[in-house]
Amino acid sequence: MCTNICLTAGITGSGKGAAGWFPVSQANVGYDHPTHAPFEHALLLDFVNPLLGPGARVAVEMNLASGKALLAKLEAAIAEAEASGVAE
Amino acid sequence: MWNSFRTDSHQAMQCEITTYKAGNGDYIHAYVARPGGDGPFPGLVVIHHMPGWDEFYLEFSRRFAQHGYTVIAPDLYCRAGHGTPDDVAAKVRAEGGVPDDQVVADCEAALHWLKSLPTSNGKVGVLGTCSGGRHAMLVAGRVRGFDAVIDFWGGGVVASPEQLTAKRPVPVIDYTKDLTCPVLGIFGNDDQNPPPAQVDQHEAELKKHGKQYEFHRYDGAGHGFFYYHAPAYRQQQAMDAWGKVFAFLDKNLKG
């Protein structure tokens, strides 16, 4: 690894990967060299299920500005959901 | 030019993915590219970059084989399982990378594998790009028997105490004093990892210990400027650097 920045969180949900839907149990958030996005470094978001092997992965690569925009909307959506009274 | 072969020269190579007995006695995959003919040929341990044991590294290995080097490129992520290189690399990234001790053991075994070949001329180099550049310096510092090392823009050779982990417990620059072979460094001056200031530190350490080295630092180039599949590619700088690479390897491994 080059930056060695990678944080993980346990999550509960599902993701749709190359082979269809699968249960995801972990989110990995890194900042390192992307595979496809045209940047030297990028935020690397992986939703994975380690029990199902390396291919059980939904991946997104984005720049920092995109990550901040996503984070703001994620927080806003969570706040709205909790305020709605229907949050699980 | 380094890429001007004679049209009447013999051009052949044999390539395959094989397994070899690596660190801890584990059998792991390696891509092997051998020049055609009886040799003798020098060897190269080629260490893949952070994005994994990928298409680029198979092609990279074949280029060296075409120039008369027997190459073994271990899959350092083999123990993490199999899938596409980016999926496997993502798994390793989430696990905090591969341990330095394991990389050293895998590459030391690759060195012995190369030297045991009947076609070997007895000389072996080690090289890698990105994290592989750091690994190449790590391996050359800790393992006796290499005759040349190339660090292609290896990030993290210089590391602060807070950057050290259980898997990377020692800054690679600390092994500079133990180097026993010549060093070639290829860097882009726009690189952020390693930034020019860290390349300066690395060079100062080599000088301090009287090591044989040459660093080539390119303006207008950043990290990974050999990667023709990425925006980082810089044609003029890459072509010049390839010339430096083969001049260095030919001098130290073919002589």
Which residues, other chains included, contact B216 with Cβ-Cβ below 8 Å and sequence gap of 6+? B184, B185, B186, B187, B240, B241, B244
Q: Name the nearest CA neighbour of B81 among B102, B95, B62.
A: B95
Give residue B153's pLDDT. Answer: 97
Beta B120-129 vs B70-74: how paired, if at all? unpaired
Which pLDDT tens digit goes with each residue over B38-50? 999 999 999 999 9
Give residue B255's pLDDT. Answer: 80
Any B CB within 8 A of A40 CB: yes
**Confidence class of residue B161 from pLDDT cuts 50, 70 and 90?**
very high
Give residue A87's pLDDT. Answer: 72
Is the distance from CB of B155 to CB of A3 less than 8 angstroms? Answer: yes
Give residue A3's pLDDT. Answer: 84
Kindly report the pTM of this predicted structure: 0.94
Which residues, other chains included, contact B96 with Cβ-Cβ below 8 Å and sequence gap of 6+? A1, A4, A6, B165, B167
Can you tell me the mean pLDDT for A49-76?
A: 97
Give residue B222's pLDDT. Answer: 95
Give residue B66's pLDDT. Answer: 95
pLDDT exceeds cutoff 70 at A39: yes
Angle made by CA atoms B34, B58, A4, in degrees to the nearest 5:
130
**Confidence class of residue A31 from pLDDT cuts 50, 70 and 90?**
very high
Any A CB within 8 A of B193 CB: yes
Please tell me which of the candidates B92, B131, B192 has its beta carbon nearest to residue A40: B192
Q: Do B192 and A1 touch (CB under 8 A)?
A: no
Can you tell me the mean pLDDT for A3-10?
A: 92
The reply to whether ipTM tops 0.90 is no
Give residue A83's pLDDT. Answer: 94
CA of A45: which chain B residue's CA is closest? B90
pLDDT exceeds cutoff 80 at B108: yes
Question: What type of residue is B66?
Answer: Q
CA of B135: which chain A residue's CA is closest? A1
Q: Do A41 and B168 touch (CB under 8 A)?
A: no
Q: Do B156 and A6 touch (CB under 8 A)?
A: no
Is the distance from CB of B157 to CB of B129 less than 8 angstroms? Answer: no
Can you tell me the mean pLDDT for B85-108?
A: 97
**CA–CA distance, B61 with B128 (Å, rounded to integer):** 10
Nearest CA distance, B50 vs chain A (angstrom): 5
